[in-house]
């Protein structure tokens, strides 16, 4: 049977020791987070994830969601009750504004516990997850009335939210979308059209579902400049704030998906449904991107989450399963074979995943902290710097953590041999679930293009220069520290690959944009490797500091950090040179063939 | 709807032009293969694959196999009839000995058409595929009576075969197996035990199923030296050669698998089943390896097969799906967006898969030709050299083509965005089907260990030295050819990485075997890259020769070969340096952590 244990010690090491979260107590929400409170919150979240969400993960996958002839949808057994517990414990509103019933705590904390929830049950966690994105859009672009009407219920989790972008003929290129909105005398709109792949589009877990829908107001310009965003509630909200008339927003079908079977992914039909414009007409993409950016961080986190649970199960299996003998001599003489974990090739798999997971955890929390600073700091310059970095690393985090997360689920599955291929051990589910994270909220190729085509050159490259400087400074500052030399040397080398690749784009992609497209995915991964390498260097520095000052019962934990950091530098980080060489190979051989020749 | 077209032109280019199959006409079976006959056979196979097997692929996945309460199994609709056509056309016996009803044609040809069959329907092709392995074992180790009893029916496809190795507690480490065989007065044995993951274990497509079962004769030594191989027919064969009494070999359950749903993968229960020893008692692993080596080449081929069909569907989608505009200016001004195929990042995916597929096709046929020479040549020295290389490259072919085949199915699925994640387009099926090929017939980590731990040092490294020499000589011979310089330079560089990594093992892995295990998977991929690079260099040389002598209507085909060869050398082959650096990083960081620390 699958297992899961939230990596609480590691989370706390990163928050307290590596990132020094207590230094941010001048930022609203942070002063409430005393070390004791942090322990308590993280511990409670771990408990919910392990004991409530996780036991429903495999059964939810096997059972799936069922659409009934009347269009209603039943989620897998136990999901409704588990969601009820989740929402009653206030996890949905943890970082939401207090004025709408949230707790106003750091988004960083929300991210820390979000990892556990998605590890334990990705499908179930998506229901509140999509709600978060809708909340963010309404906070940022809603009118006071819209905020008052929807936010308290959504933050309490009584109502959930969705994002409706994709139509059968377009997903990435939203300029092509056809759903239309017809203005009504009362200021509302009638929305018509079909949306597909709508996560949590219809279900039995909430009293109302607040759909945020992209559509084109009649007569609006073609392309992306004629798209508006609408609030389309499943039940139109009465004057007293309660759900009233059933709206013309119905689930036409549940998609037959490879994974995340516990999430109700719907074809949504809008048939003269009543909708309310949110934000400015024809500027819907702007409002949508508020949801999208938040959602991208959440999806990147899913990559880590699945990688972590897959890792834990592979470790457990590798410790138990007896097969073969160690190359360096029998290790379990009392048994007929040694456990898998004695074999170097198995350890290669486990160490690779581990090294990514621990650095990815640091990366997600470091990024979440930038988000908190960008949104809450009183200091404008600080806000700006954080916002620059947040924008830059969002596509990296989404693309790299989900690509690798999937790879790791596959590697962990491989440890099980044939047992990984049957559904009973859950390893197939992790692979099938992880696969979607590479696709939704902008396929990873789009993340790479966003990074190279938009984020890199923004404000004259201000963000990327700041990142290079931060990492370069770290290397320089630790140059004279003998214990750090091995780490900083490897990191500096990789940073050099990244800087050279960036220069290459500047010299070669302006006149010939295909050179940017041809190298974009490699650049995204190159950037990701450097950032993860930076996280490892920071963690190694912290671990050494703590070890020097007497680590107490964390000594093994900290020493293992140093081993894993070395593994990352020796075995993983050198990939940057390959990525760079591919980028610098340019686009010529890619573009040479006629489309008909493929 | 998914599409498939057998790559006949490419197969013929490799067989006729690159490998020069007509030069082998002194080998039995080859002289029958005139160019016209080759065309006809390959064309007929393509037709069967495209028109009969392929239309049942998606429906077979969705329907799956059904086990009935009496233990009988029904395969998906249409499978029985399609198999009937397959077997009546004589495909099963194409390369089998004429004395048992086969056609005695080259195994190379069997491999060429085998690619098409597995592309079109991997699950269905596994039924005759497993039979091939059983046939090979009976030819090699069976008594005259056993051969006469089983081979004609199996080669005609009237009876199918299976391989029964894995038990719940052991797969890789067969020394642990517990199934037992009790000798009977008539010379037969009573076999008891449970086997799992038995492909084609029970089904409705043949009159009899010939199970080859590993078991331990009562009182035999422990470990691998006490294992024997038995023939256990589903129906005991009467004196007149017809199936008689139902044997105690029954399907207890069908496994719930991630993919290959059309193949009936069974838990097989042997309950005092009558079995007949094949080969020498306690030497069952030897006999089994005859099946296994043949099966490994077949599984490697599956990697290519799935990669090819995934590629073809991604290409079709990329040509049709309109999304976004080209970075270098609008390409389809009459449409609202350009097709995906204008985007460099999409082309990166397509070219990567294409470059592997074409080289992998050459690699599989080159290897199959070695197999023919090894088994059929009249010249002992020639046989020996071919057998050396066959043994060396078998684990490389199996491991690398299936690892990459899976990666490519995933990459091709990504081209479809969200549409790749739903089952209707078939892309999810390719991913789920391809996944098993990395696991069965020896998980890829075991292939890597076989390569590094066994094949590399065999006969003082004779095989690997021969391979290095063959590739090195090719580079040297073409050094003065200006048109070949770019290819041979890249190939030589990679060969140097491979040679250095091999030397590193010699210096570091003898005293410390964990260094071999730690680098084994990287070494397997490093070797694979070099061999595929060699295939590309050979194909480039051939293409240039043909272009120089007037290529006629193949000019575009040949020029595209050169572009794809360049792409491979520029973008893919440099990975060898990374693989080498990982190998040379050794095992220390892998083995440092205590098992409990993971």
How does residue B369 score in pLDDT terms, banded at 50, 70 and 90?
very high
Q: How many CA atoms lie within 13 A of A175 on its CB side?
A: 14
Task: Please state, in angstroms and rounded to a whole number, the distance separating the CA atoms of residues A411 and A427.
Answer: 10
Predicted pLDDT at A291:
80
For B122-142, the pLDDT digits (tens) are 999 999 999 999 999 999 999
**Nearest by CB: A590 against B315, B344, B575:** B344
For B465-512, the pLDDT digits (tens) are 999 999 999 999 998 999 999 999 999 999 999 999 999 999 999 889
For B571-587, the pLDDT digits (tens) are 999 999 999 999 999 99
For A392-443, the pLDDT digits (tens) are 999 999 999 999 999 999 999 999 999 999 999 999 999 999 999 999 999 9
Task: Please state, in angstroms and rounded to a whole number, the distance separating the CA atoms of residues A144 and A154.
Answer: 15
Q: Which helix (H) or strand (E) holds A92?
A: none
Per the structure block, which two tokens stand in for A298? 């959440």
For B391-434, the pLDDT digits (tens) are 999 999 999 999 999 999 999 999 999 999 999 999 999 999 99
B contacts of A594 (beta carbons < 8 Å): 556
End-to-end alpha carbon distance in chain B: 45
Question: Does residue B301 register a pLDDT over 90?
Answer: yes
Show me where the domains of chain B are located: 460-590
B575's CB contacts (< 8 A; 6+ apart) are A578, B525, B529
Number of H helices, E strands in chain A: 19, 11
Give the chain A residue nearest B319 (alpha carbons). Answer: A595
* Sequence-separated contacts (24+) of B37-43 with Cβ below 8 Å: B38/B12, B38/B109, B39/B12, B41/B94, B41/B105, B41/B109, B41/B113, B42/B6, B42/B8, B42/B11, B42/B12, B42/B109, B42/B112, B42/B113, B43/B8
B contacts of A322 (beta carbons < 8 Å): 169, 173, 176
**B323 close contact with A: CB closer than 8 A:** yes
- CB neighbours of residue A418 within 10 Å: 18
Task: Please state, in angstroms and rounded to a whole number, the distance separating the CA atoms of residues B571 and A502.
Answer: 18
Q: What is the mean pLDDT of residues A247-257?
A: 98
- State the Cα torsion A292-A294-A299-A305 to the nearest 10°: -170
**A224 close contact with B: CB closer than 8 A:** no
Interface of B with A in 403-422 (CB under 8 A): 406, 410, 413-414, 417-418, 420-422
Predicted pLDDT at A367:
98
Q: How many CA atoms lie within 13 A of B129 on its CB side?
A: 29
Question: Does residue B550 register a pLDDT over 90?
Answer: no
Question: Does residue B26 register a pLDDT over 90?
Answer: yes
Question: Does residue A293 register a pLDDT over 90?
Answer: no
- Interchain CB distance below 8 Å, B570 and A560: no
For B428-468, the pLDDT digits (tens) are 999 999 999 999 999 999 999 999 999 999 999 999 999 99
Kindly list the distances between the CA atom of residue A248 and the CA atoms of A182, A244, A245, A281, in Å, as whole numbers in the listed order: 14, 13, 10, 22
Q: How far is A278 from chain B (nearest CA, A)?
A: 26
Percent of chain B with pLDDT over 90: 96
The closest alpha carbon to A214, from A145, A151, A270, belongs to: A270
Predicted pLDDT at B549:
93
Interface of B with A in 261-320 (CB under 8 A): 315, 318-319
Q: How far is A89 from chain B (nearest CA, A)?
A: 31
CB B273 within 8 A of CB B232: yes
- Interchain CB distance below 8 Å, A516 and B327: yes
For B266-290, the pLDDT digits (tens) are 999 999 999 999 999 999 998 888 7
- Interchain CB distance below 8 Å, B517 and A339: no
Task: Please state, in angstroms and rounded to a whole number, the distance separating the CA atoms of residues B243 and B235.
Answer: 5
Question: CA triplet A434, B400, B569: central angle to 5 degrees?
Answer: 100
Q: How far is A90 from chain B (nearest CA, A)?
A: 32
**Nearest by CB: A514 against B170, B328, B406:** B328
The closest alpha carbon to A421, from B437, B269, B125, belongs to: B437
CB B410 within 8 A of CB A440: no
Kindly list the distances between the CA atom of residue A60 and the CA atoms of A75, A122, A262, A462, in Å, as whole numbers in the listed order: 8, 10, 5, 46
How does residue A287 score in pLDDT terms, banded at 50, 70 and 90?
confident
* Sequence-separated contacts (24+) of B48-52 with Cβ below 8 Å: B48/B85, B48/B86, B48/B89, B48/B91, B48/B117, B49/B4, B49/B6, B49/B113, B49/B116, B49/B117, B49/B119, B49/B120, B49/B121, B50/B4, B50/B5, B50/B6, B50/B116, B50/B120, B52/B82, B52/B85, B52/B86
Percent of chain A with pLDDT over 90: 96
Give the chain B residue nearest A559 (alpha carbons). Answer: B593
Predicted pLDDT at A288:
87
Q: What is the mean pLDDT of residues B66-86?
A: 98
Catalytic status, residue B441:
yes
Give the chain B residue nearest A354 (alpha carbons). Answer: B598
Predicted pLDDT at B294:
83
Q: Which residue in A167, A308, A358, A441 is the catalytic one?
A: A441
Helices A514-548 and B344-376: crossing angle in degrees, nearest 10, is 80
- Interchain CB distance below 8 Å, B336 and A422: no
Give the chain B residue nearest A453 (alpha carbons). Answer: B327
Predicted pLDDT at A322:
95
Predicted pLDDT at B545:
97
Q: What is the residue-averaged pLDDT of chain B?
A: 97
A contacts of B589 (beta carbons < 8 Å): 351, 563-564, 566-567, 570-571
**Nearest by CB: A345 against B354, B520, B578:** B520
**B350 close contact with A: CB closer than 8 A:** yes
Interface test with A, best of B224, B312, B344, B520 (most A CBs within 10 A): B344
A contacts of B352 (beta carbons < 8 Å): none
CA A514 to chain centroid, in Å, comes to: 28
**B511 close contact with A: CB closer than 8 A:** no
**A66 close contact with B: CB closer than 8 A:** no
Phi, psi of B66, deg, nearest 5:
-120, 130
DSSP code at position A275: E
**B582 close contact with A: CB closer than 8 A:** yes
Give the chain A residue nearest B414 (alpha carbons). Answer: A439
CA A33 to chain centroid, in Å, comes to: 23
- Interchain CB distance below 8 Å, B514 and A577: no
- Interchain CB distance below 8 Å, A589 and B571: yes
**Nearest by CB: A520 against B345, B444, B512:** B345
A contacts of B327 (beta carbons < 8 Å): 453, 513-514, 516-517
Predicted pLDDT at A289:
83
Buried b (16+ CB within 10 A) or exposed e, B570-582: bbbbbbbbbbbbb
How does residue A269 score in pLDDT terms, banded at 50, 70 and 90?
very high
Q: What is the mean pLDDT of residues B542-556?
A: 94
For A119-140, the pLDDT digits (tens) are 999 999 999 999 999 999 999 9
Q: What is the mean pLDDT of residues B50-60?
A: 98
CB B374 within 8 A of CB B383: yes
**A555 close contact with B: CB closer than 8 A:** no
Per the structure block, which two tokens stand in for A195? 């949306």
Per the structure block, which two tokens stand in for A311? 């890792």
Q: What is the mean pLDDT of residues A309-327?
A: 96
């Amino acid at each position: 049977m699958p297992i899961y244990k939230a990596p609480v010690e590691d989370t706390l090491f990163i928050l307290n020791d590596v990132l020094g979260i207590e230094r941010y107590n001048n930022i609203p929400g942070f002063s409430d987070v005393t070390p004791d409170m942090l322990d308590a919150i993280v511990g409670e979240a771990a408990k919910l994830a392990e004991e409530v969400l996780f036991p429903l993960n495999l059964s939810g996958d096997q059972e799936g969601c069922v659409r009934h002839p009347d269009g209603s949808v039943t989620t897998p057994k136990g999901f409704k009750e588990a969601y009820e517990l989740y929402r009653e414990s206030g996890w949905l509103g943890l970082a939401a504004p207090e004025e709408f019933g949230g707790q106003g705590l750091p988004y960083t904390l929300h991210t820390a516990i979000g990892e556990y929830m998605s590890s334990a049950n990705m499908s179930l966690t998506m229901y509140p997850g999509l709600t978060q994105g809708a909340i963010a859009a309404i906070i940022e672009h809603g009118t006071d009335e819209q905020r008052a009407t929807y936010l308290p219920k959504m933050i309490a989790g009584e109502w959930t939210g969705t994002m409706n972008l994709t139509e059968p003929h377009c997903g990435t290129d939203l300029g092509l979308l056809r759903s239309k909105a017809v203005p009504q005398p009362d200021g509302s709109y009638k929305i018509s059209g079909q949306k597909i792949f709508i996560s949590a589009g219809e279900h039995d877990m909430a009293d109302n579902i607040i759909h945020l829908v992209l559509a084109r107001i009649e007569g609006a310009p073609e392309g992306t400049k004629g798209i508006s965003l609408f609030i389309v509630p499943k039940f139109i909200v009465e004057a007293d704030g309660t759900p009233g008339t059933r709206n013309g927003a119905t689930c036409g079908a549940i998609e037959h998906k490879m994974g995340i079977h516990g999430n109700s992914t719907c074809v949504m039909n809008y048939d003269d449904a009543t909708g309310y414009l949110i934000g400015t007409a024809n500027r819907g993409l702007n409002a949508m991107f508020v949801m999208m950016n938040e959602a991208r961080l959440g999806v990147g986190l899913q990559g880590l989450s699945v990688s972590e649970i897959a890792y834990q199960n592979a470790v457990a299996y590798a410790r138990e399963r007896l097969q073969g003998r160690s190359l360096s001599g029998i290790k379990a003489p009392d048994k007929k074979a040694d456990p898998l974990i004695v074999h170097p090739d198995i350890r290669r798999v486990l160490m690779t995943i581990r090294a990514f997971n621990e650095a990815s955890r640091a990366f997600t929390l470091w990024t979440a902290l930038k988000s908190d600073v960008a949104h809450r700091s009183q200091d404008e310059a600080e806000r700006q710097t954080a916002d620059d970095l947040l924008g830059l690393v969002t596509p990296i985090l989404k693309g790299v953590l989900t690509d690798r997360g999937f790879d790791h689920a596959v590697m962990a599955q491989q440890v099980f041999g044939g047992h990984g291929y049957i559904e009973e051990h859950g390893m197939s589910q992790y692979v099938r679930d992880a696969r979607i994270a590479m696709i939704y909220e902008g396929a990873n190729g789009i993340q790479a293009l966003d990074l190279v085509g938009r984020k890199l050159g923004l404000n004259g490259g201000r963000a990327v220069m700041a990142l290079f400087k931060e990492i370069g400074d770290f290397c320089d500052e630790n140059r004279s520290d003998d214990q750090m030399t091995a780490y900083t040397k490897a990191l500096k080398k990789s940073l050099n690959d990244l800087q050279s690749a960036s220069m290459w784009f500047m010299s070669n992609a302006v006149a010939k944009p295909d050179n940017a497209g041809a190298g974009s995915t490699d650049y995204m991964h190159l950037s990701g490797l450097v950032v993860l390498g930076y996280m490892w260097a920071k963690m190694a520095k912290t671990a050494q500091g703590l070890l020097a000052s007497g680590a107490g019962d964390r000594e093994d934990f900290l020493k293992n950090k140093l081993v894993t950091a070395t593994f990352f530098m020796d075995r993983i980080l050198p990939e940057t040179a390959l990525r760079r060489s591919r980028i610098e190979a340019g686009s010529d051989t890619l573009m040479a063939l006629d489309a008909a020749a493929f």
